[in-house]
A = this chain, B = another copy of it.
Amino acid sequence: MPKVRPALLKGFDQEFLPQEQLQFNALVELIRRNFERFGFLPLETPSAERIEVLTSKGGAEKEIYALSRLAAADEDDEAAAKGALRFDLTVPLARYVAMRERELAFPFRRYQIQRVWRGENPQVKRGRFREFYQCDIDVINRETLSYLAEAEIPSVIYSVFREMAIGDFVIRINNRKVLKGILQHFNIADGSATPILRALDKIEKEEKAAVLAELERNGVAAKSATELYQIISTRRQTNEALALLTDLAYANETFVQGVAELGKIVEAIRQFGVPEGAFAIDLGVVRGLDYYTGTIYETTLVAHPDIGSICSGGRYDDLASYFTSTRLPGVGISIGLSRLFARLKEAHLLQPLVRTPAEVLVTTLAPESLEHYLRIAARLRAEDVNTEVYLERAKIGKQFEYANKKGFRVAITAGPDEFARGTVKIKNLATQAESDVAAGEIIPTVKSMLNTKVH
């Protein structure tokens, strides 16, 4: 029979071998656990939304994958005619909150760990896929949202990446009002701020001359461009940055309000327990999105600035203005987990698995003793120990090879000799230590082995 080549679709190709899948899932669980630790509850939304919902904000059309039936297109099929895959988790959240406003408890704190799809050019080396996981949290309130919600976010980020143990990181914060106030001082009108912010966002990636040229091309005078570059690009300690902003003392209201907000938020971030070295004001944090209005966040690994931001987000004043006239201010962050995982793996920063769900393999030497092997497995499972019985006929060496390849931690072996003596052999596959254990002692022996961490 002619074969179809078993291959993956370009950009839809972050797929793992079992041990990698376990490592990926361990990161998902770590993130979930930390989000829940702060009172965020899970939400999942459908993969596809109505096209008018996805495009309500405009601008993303080029990246959106629409659905169509492969054959026999049914004209009544609304999903095929009007549906497309979500490109982020924020638009579905806005639609969700607008739909269910009356039923939700506010402030609404949700986390969402799901796949999104973007028809961008995939770059496997940079960990950019067309299908990828995002892990988002948002806090949404009605009408008003305390600055404390903004101040809490770094403590969640800190909690996640501290536990992830991938090296020192800095949560870099800035404030959109401060940025806007600075631009106002340089006579850059609100309407023309977007290309200027976009130019400033390139400070870390591009040469100074290129950024200055882009600023000037967008109407900033040469002297102002240099001054602006100097303010934005310099790295400072948090207190130095606050002092600089106080010294600058630009006389526009947006700036004054932004600096006051930033000062209050920094004070609260400290109260939330984020250590001084783990966060910093960075006036160079710009974020592309128009809709942020307060604090903005980026997180970088100190030893791996090349990886870029591993967790970003910000405060916004109105989540769902396209769907409802209720004002829904909020704050949120997103971890691009597929990219993060790919880059961490490449940089050898992934922690080895502390726990694998493959715990005990019961090998089978004597097919006629099946009932005996099954009874051992049943007893272990009743004690919440994950146990597999090797059911194919194979030499013992092959069974141990299987146990090691799959990452089992313990193997139990028994043949006629052991049955005669009423014992089994229990082997710790990490240390290779093996001992004879009486049938009645199997459970406590295995449990104490499993409670000893692998590393």
Contacts and interface: CB of A to CB of B under 8 A. Distances in A.
A234 interface: no
B358 A78 contact: no
Interface string A269-304: 001110000000000000000000000000000000
Nearest to A56: B4
B47 A131 contact: yes
Contacts of A105: 18, 401-402, 405-406
A99 interface: yes
B6 A406 contact: no
Interface string A140-156: 01001110110010000
Interface string A26-61: 000000000011110111111111111101100001
Contact of A64 (B22, B70, B79): B70
Contacts of A49: 8-9, 12
B37 A387 contact: yes
A44 B16 contact: yes
A294 to B, nearest CB: 14
A62 B94 CA distance: 33
A8 B92 CA distance: 10
A15 B46 contact: yes
Interface in A110-145: 110, 115, 117, 119, 130-131, 141, 144-145
Interface string A75-96: 0011110111100000000111
A7 B39 contact: no
A434 interface: no
Contact of A42 (B22, B45, B98): B22
Interface string A171-197: 000000000000000000000000000
A371 interface: yes
A243 B314 CA distance: 71
Closest 8 CB pairs between A and B? A39-B388, A105-B405, A61-B71, A12-B46, A6-B98, A6-B323, A64-B70, A148-B391
